[in-house]
Amino acid sequence: MLTSALRLSLLAVAAGLFLQLSSPAALGAEEVKLIALGLADHAVTEEEVAGGAKLPAPRFNSGGVAHALVGNLKMGDIVEVRLVLDGKSLMHNTETLSEDKERVLLQAGKTGTPAGGWPQGGYIADVKVLRDGKPILEEKTEAIPFE
């Protein structure tokens, strides 16, 4: 016959083993990975951002494009990238994945100059990934002016 303390210890070990085996890592799931996030004066290619190329920064009289390259995504994940000025979203782009994908490049912005140039202020790129309605990745760049 087991004592109460021994029975509780065995239950705790069994629960810990269950939690460990049920973790995403134990089930083979890989973490979503932010490969690149930034701002450029043009629509970028996956090769440019994955290779770590130094991209030209947007200027008041150029295009302004926020980009995010995200890896290890699963079917149903929602990826959103935004171009934000002083806390206000100017442009955004969202993709819901119809299949697992190793990488997704998503961009939001303008490849041309807005009439009168870009307004003054601090611009950021931000990205969010939702899985089952819950955020699993949220990142943003430092604010920069489009000089």
pLDDT in tens, 118-131: 999 999 999 999 99
As a whole number, mean pLDDT of residues 16-31 equals 44
pLDDT in tens, 52-99: 889 999 999 999 999 999 999 999 999 999 999 999 999 999 999 999
Question: Would you call 13 helix, strand, or coil by DSSP?
Answer: helix
- In the prediction, which pLDDT does 39 show? 98
- In the prediction, which pLDDT does 30 show? 73
How many residues does this entry show for the chain? 147
Predicted confidence band at 19 (pLDDT cuts at 50, 70, 90)? very low
- In the prediction, which pLDDT does 146 show? 95
Type of residue found at 133: G
Q: What is the pTM of this model?
A: 0.79
- In the prediction, which pLDDT does 23 show? 39
Exposure class string for 116-128: b at 16+ Cβ within 10 A, else e? eebeeeebbbbbb
Predicted confidence band at 14 (pLDDT cuts at 50, 70, 90)? very low
